[in-house]
Amino acid sequence: MTAKKAAKQQSNKALPVTPTAPAEARPTHMFPADLTKPLDAIADPIYLDPLIAFYILAAAHAVAAFYFPIQDCDEVYNYYEPTHYLTDGYGKQTWEYSPEYAIRSWGYVSLHAIVVGLRRIIPIWSLPKVWKFYFLRTVLGLICAGSEARLYSKISRTLNPRLGMLFFLIMLTSPGMFHASVSYLPSSFSMYTTALGMAAFMDWRGGMRTAQGMMFMIGGALLGWPFAAALVAPFMIEEFMLAYFTDKQEFIDFCYRILDGTVRSFIVLVLQFFFDAFFYRKAALVPYNIVWYNVIAARDGKGPDIYGTEPWHFYARNLLLNFNIWFIIALASMPLYFIHAFVLRQPIFKQSLIRGVFFLTPFYLWLAIFTLQPHKEERFMYPIYPALGFQRCPGFSHSSHLARHFQSPFPHRHDSCQVKTSFRCSLLHCCC
């Protein structure tokens, strides 16, 4: 053996062996190489630990739980009253809970009744009865904070830590999130599960989480508000396209993931069906009844339109009140994204262009669907709040990059003008 070969063998032995996941668990051909690295601490100084983010968000939601008044009569009569019936034995009933219509799920109400029942094992039974109300709202705020913190973590680790921080600040300070976070409404429940589903679809590290994302978004829609299931469509189309244009084995794996997610969602539907059948004393498929009443019956003049209609710009005005300038930036995020990708040719996301398009699609899809509906209510926008919060992050980042790109120094300008322009661009750079 020559000295050169011996040295080569010795150097090979010194190389560390890095374990690799099987091909089906880590489809490296479907995204850039940096996404195959293990999850570790992010070095960016702007990154905030998700646990700390959870504590801050939970504190903000606790303030809302104790001080924000109920602003929707449906929350009282359609949810608090039935919950009071389950926990205390009496409560008022609305027509929605009549077996003739059966468009409210007792399974959804029972989950919250169980939460209220937990106070029996917590040493607060000597407190006034109203503390049941505050206890339930506080728990809802904690669940919302957990879903927001998880989505924040996935945005920071998968896309960009600065986008994650901007998402966190928007969720923390927006008036819309302040009241939606603790509202006892199916649309708020769908907001929690939408955030968890987006987090699952967003993170491909260690394998794709299609089944988990389907379970959160579809299962949450079945138990909460069926229309929220539409938000899963862009993510499913994305994964189908990637699997179809990759190879046969990847498409087979995609089909298995779809089957897994379908089974999980079906289990949620079966459990809900038995709960509702027990209380209604008949077979009742509540998600179908909700869709039938709001879509099919509406064509015959018997749907929600009898309670009033609003002009097409109702949600634009409402979202401007709840999110201010961030709503305008969210609307502009897709055009700015294409300008940034095709004109400036500078990536904002660590992942591919097509992923960015699918991330931004749910907001536009939901806004278009409900803008076309004559009957409009503020709570109908709740499920899209996490996507709206995410939407504003790349939109703001794109606008700041465009400002820096098109800034050109002119010698004839006054020095103070150049200082002001540089300061504005530096501020944008720090924020994004």
pLDDT of residue 204: 81
Asked if residue 346 belongs to a domain, the reply is: yes
Q: Which residue has the tokens 């409210």?
A: 104
Q: Which of 111, 306, 308 is nearest to 223 (CA)?
A: 111
Asked if residue 19 belongs to a domain, the reply is: no
| Low-confidence winner among 58-62, 119-123, 415-419 (lowest mean pLDDT) | 415-419
**Both tokens assigned to 190:** 């769908």
Cα–Cα distance measured from residue 266 to residue 38, given in angstroms and rounded to the nearest whole number: 33
Q: Which residue would you say has higher pLDDT here, 47 or 217? A: 217
**Both tokens assigned to 92:** 């008022």
Q: Categorize the per-residue pLDDT at 130 as very low, low, confident or very high, splitting at 50, 70 and 90.
A: confident
Contact 115, 109 (CB under 8 A): no
Asked if residue 32 belongs to a domain, the reply is: no
* 62 pLDDT higher than 80: yes
Backbone φ, ψ for residue 375 (5° rounding): -85, 120
Contact 422, 227 (CB under 8 A): no
Asked if residue 30 belongs to a domain, the reply is: no
Q: pLDDT of 94-104, one tens digit each?
A: 999 999 999 99
For the chain, percent of residues with pLDDT exceeding 90: 52
Mean pLDDT computed over every residue of the chain: 80
Contact 356, 339 (CB under 8 A): no
Query: CA angle, corner 72, sides to 67 and 75, nearest 5?
Result: 90
How large is the average pLDDT for residues 299-320? 86
Range of the domain at 269: 44-431
| Low-confidence winner among 6-20, 102-116, 358-372 (lowest mean pLDDT) | 6-20
pLDDT of residue 34: 46
Q: Which residue would you say has higher pLDDT here, 413 or 261? A: 261
pLDDT of residue 1: 46
Q: Which residue would you say has higher pLDDT here, 361 or 429? A: 361
Cα–Cα distance measured from residue 226 to residue 26, given in angstroms and rounded to the nearest whole number: 32
Asked if residue 7 belongs to a domain, the reply is: no
Secondary structure (DSSP) of 96-153:
GGSTTT--S-HHHHHHHHHHHHGGGGTT-TTS-TTHHHHHHHHHHHHHHHHHHHHHHH
HSE-up (13 A, CA, CB side) for residue 76: 5
Asked if residue 142 belongs to a domain, the reply is: yes
pLDDT of residue 180: 95
Q: Which residue has the tokens 């600065």?
A: 162
pLDDT of residue 45: 67
* 106 pLDDT higher than 90: yes
Q: pLDDT of 352-394, one tens digit each?
A: 677 778 888 999 999 999 999 999 999 999 999 999 988 876 5
| Low-confidence winner among 98-112, 297-311, 404-418 (lowest mean pLDDT) | 404-418
Asked if residue 102 belongs to a domain, the reply is: yes
Q: Kindly calculate the radius of gyration of the chain based on its CA atoms and give it in whole angstroms.
A: 25
How large is the average pLDDT for residues 4-23? 44
Q: Which residue would you say has higher pLDDT here, 296 or 27? A: 296
To the question of pTM greater than 0.85 for the whole model, the response is no
Contact 276, 98 (CB under 8 A): no
Cβ–Cβ contacts within 10 Å for residue 130, how many? 8
**Both tokens assigned to 315:** 């949600």
Q: pLDDT of 149-189, one tens digit each?
A: 999 999 888 877 888 898 999 999 999 999 999 999 999 99
In total, how many domains does the chain have?
1
* 431 pLDDT higher than 70: no
pLDDT of residue 357: 84
Q: Categorize the per-residue pLDDT at 395 as very low, low, confident or very high, splitting at 50, 70 and 90.
A: very low
* 118 pLDDT higher than 50: yes
**Both tokens assigned to 38:** 């293990």
Q: pLDDT of 314-346, one tens digit each?
A: 999 999 999 988 899 889 888 888 887 777 665
Asked if residue 8 belongs to a domain, the reply is: no
Q: Which residue would you say has higher pLDDT here, 307 or 276? A: 276
Q: Categorize the per-residue pLDDT at 429 as very low, low, confident or very high, splitting at 50, 70 and 90.
A: very low
pLDDT of residue 154: 92
Contact 393, 403 (CB under 8 A): no
Secondary structure (DSSP) of 304-350:
GGGG----TTHHHHHHHHHHTHHHHHHHHHHHHHHIIIIII---SSS
Q: Which residue would you say has higher pLDDT here, 298 or 249? A: 249
